[in-house]
Amino acid sequence: MTGKTHPAVTRRFGIGLVALALVATACTSGDAETQSNGDPVDAEPAQLSITPETGAEEIAPNTPIRVSAEHGVITDVQVDQVVVSEAAAGGEEGDDDGDLYAMTGTLNEDETEWVSDWNLRPGSEIVVTATAENGSGEETEFSAEFTTHDAVPGQRLELVSNFPSSGDTVGVGMPVVINFDLPVSNKAQVENSMNVVAEKEVAGAWNWVTDQMAVFRPEQYWEAYQEVTVDLNLAGVEASEGVFGVRNYQINFEIGRELIATMHVPDHEMVIEIDGEEDRVIEVSNGAANRRFDTTTSGVHVLMERYTQLTMDSATVGIPEDAPGSYRVDVNYAVRTSNSGEFVHEMSANGNIGSANTSNGCTNMRYDDAKWFFDNTLMGDILDTTGTDREFEWDNGWGYWQKSWDEWLEGSETGEPQMTSYGTPGSVHGEGL
């Protein structure tokens, strides 16, 4: 898994598989094991220390590994992990993938201190091997072995669902939506454990919609035609007291072409631009606006799920059968734009398409236009609507672009942007460790 990389003064070392940790007592290399070419050695051998120390047991998973050197500089750190708890392994195919659990660390400016970037897995045996070099080029190697305690059944943070999924191609407005199985109280540590890397750098930040849902959004729309990787370094993170992550996850998706659809509702049309060029204008009919419910919302919508056929039932949005304004109708080519029942969909039976707004709040299109919209749009494409007095709520579906960047940052527990070129802004380890 790719580690976070901060600018300037730090160097990173990759390491093998991961493990877990708790207290910070140190062990130090005694007589250095040196390699010499036979030339006179003037420099004192380098000395290394590692915490946690050899023999430590039941170390907390969110304890950092620290390596220090005297009389030399650190040249390599390797961390290997063997999961000894079946529960900690998570029971998922590929869970012990070396790339997924590869550790990285941050080296200070004078290259004498190294600290692990990520937490360690519960229920594991860990071996840390460090190498340092003195001024004469002699090497000293030192290692420490310890174990981490297991995660308690029923208190293991895991991923329930995510949008997008690996392999998806999405639009430039796509958020990263992460749903957990348990509430998160240590939100800053979990935020810092979720690293978003994009080919084209942009600032972004996580928000907590609920205690179990975290959402990442860039400051501006993603640039088109690039790959994005989300590394969820959850193994060992303490999500709340006594609740630890047991697995790491990686999500790989692609940002496709830029498609922006705009509607000024009184104009009865939708304008489609692709990569900055107008592609087509589609006649539509929007909400009749006789009441709040059937008023199309104004704001930046992100296209969500889609159905080739869908039964639209007012009971699902709080209007029961036989109540005033109730309806139940089958439609084709429906693309969701909110969680309050708004879709772009086919409704050829609406004779007011292009001339009047008479729908129940959805955007009606004729058959051929609705099929084109369905076939040629992506999850994550933008529909920007204006001209009504009902504002789209930021937490209605994926209305996250309704918040300004400053407002979005306020919803981040860290309060800091995450650059998609070098990673998360703070520590993933337990406080005081």
Q: Where are the domains of the chain?
A: 11-147, 156-256+406-419, 259-401
What CATH number does domain 156-256+406-419 carry, 3.30.950.10, 3.90.470.20, 3.10.180.10, 2.60.40.3710?
2.60.40.3710
CATH 3.40.640.10 is held by the domain 259-401: no
Please state, as a whole number, how many other Cβ atoms lie within 10 Å of the Cβ of residue 406.
8
Q: Which residues sit opposite 270 in a β-bridge?
A: 263, 282
Query: What distance in Å separates the CA atoms of residue 252 and residue 270, rounded to the nearest whole number?
Result: 32
Please state, as a whole number, how many other Cβ atoms lie within 10 Å of the Cβ of residue 395.
15
Q: What angle do CA 393, 417, 398 make, to 5 degrees?
A: 25
Query: What distance in Å separates the CA atoms of residue 380 and residue 170, rounded to the nearest whole number?
Result: 5
Note the pLDDT tens digit of each residue in 166-192.
Answer: 999 999 999 999 999 999 999 999 999
Region 330-354: mean pLDDT is 96
- pTM for the full predicted model: 0.86
Number of H helices, E strands in the chain: 4, 30
Q: Are β-strands 363-365 and 343-346 bridged in parallel, bridged antiparallel, or unpaired?
A: parallel
Decide: 283 and 353 in contact? Cβ < 8 Å.
Answer: yes
List the one residue out of 202, 230, 219 whose CA is nearest residue 421: 202
Note the pLDDT tens digit of each residue in 4-23.
Answer: 333 333 334 443 333 333 33
Q: In this structure, what token pair is assigned to residue 149?
A: 């305690």
Decide: 129 and 139 in contact? Cβ < 8 Å.
Answer: no
Residue 345 annotated in active site: yes
pLDDT-based confidence at residue 87 (cuts at 50, 70, 90):
low
Catalytic residue among 27, 149, 301, 345: 345
pLDDT score, position 10: 38
Query: What distance in Å separates the CA atoms of residue 116 and residue 266, rounded to the nearest whole number?
Result: 57
Query: What distance in Å separates the CA atoms of residue 171 and residue 154, rounded to the nearest whole number?
Result: 37
The residue behind tokens 């036979």 is 38
Report the chain's mean pLDDT, rounded to a whole number: 88
Query: What distance in Å separates the CA atoms of residue 370 and residue 363, rounded to the nearest whole number?
Result: 10
Note the pLDDT tens digit of each residue in 140-174.
Answer: 999 999 999 999 999 999 999 999 999 999 999 99
Does this chain's domain 11-147 share its CATH topology with 259-401?
no
| Collapsed DSSP state (helix, strand, coil) of residue 283 | strand
Q: What angle do CA 180, 182, 188 make, to 5 degrees?
A: 75
pLDDT score, position 316: 72
pLDDT score, position 90: 52
Catalytic residue among 149, 301, 362, 429: 362
CATH 3.40.50.970 is held by the domain 11-147: no
